[in-house]
């Protein structure tokens, strides 16, 4: 999968906003929040259904 196709897939299913929301919750002084965010983003990506047609 190309970067273009990856970005298109994320945008198409609305994950860009969801990922950004998770990342905003990471505290610079709280390493555990980064680990939690990483796990949440991984779950979002694992549940991603790729669209039938993808550019690039």
**Per-residue pLDDT tens over the stretch 24-35:** 999 999 999 999
Question: What pLDDT, on the 0 to 100 scale, is given for residue 1?
Answer: 73
Distance from first CA to last CA of the chain, Å, rounded? 8
CA distances from 38 to 10, 19, 22, 24, 32 (A): 16, 10, 9, 12, 10
Question: What pLDDT, on the 0 to 100 scale, is given for residue 50?
Answer: 64
Cα 41–Cα 20–Cα 22 angle in degrees, nearest 5:
50
What angle, 0 to 180 degrees and rounded to 10, lies between the N-to-C axes of helices 15-24 and 3-12? 90
Question: What pLDDT, on the 0 to 100 scale, is given for residue 9?
Answer: 82
Task: Report, as an integer, the average pLDDT of 19-24.
Answer: 96
| pTM > 0.85 | no
**CA–CA dist 22, 54 (Å, integer):** 25
């Amino acid at each position: 999968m190309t970067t273009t196709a990856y970005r298109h897939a994320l945008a198409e299913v609305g994950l860009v906003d969801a990922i950004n929301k998770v990342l905003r919750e990471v505290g610079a002084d709280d390493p555990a929040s980064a680990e939690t965010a990483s796990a949440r983003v991984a779950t979002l990506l694992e549940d991603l259904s790729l669209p039938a047609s993808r550019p690039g």
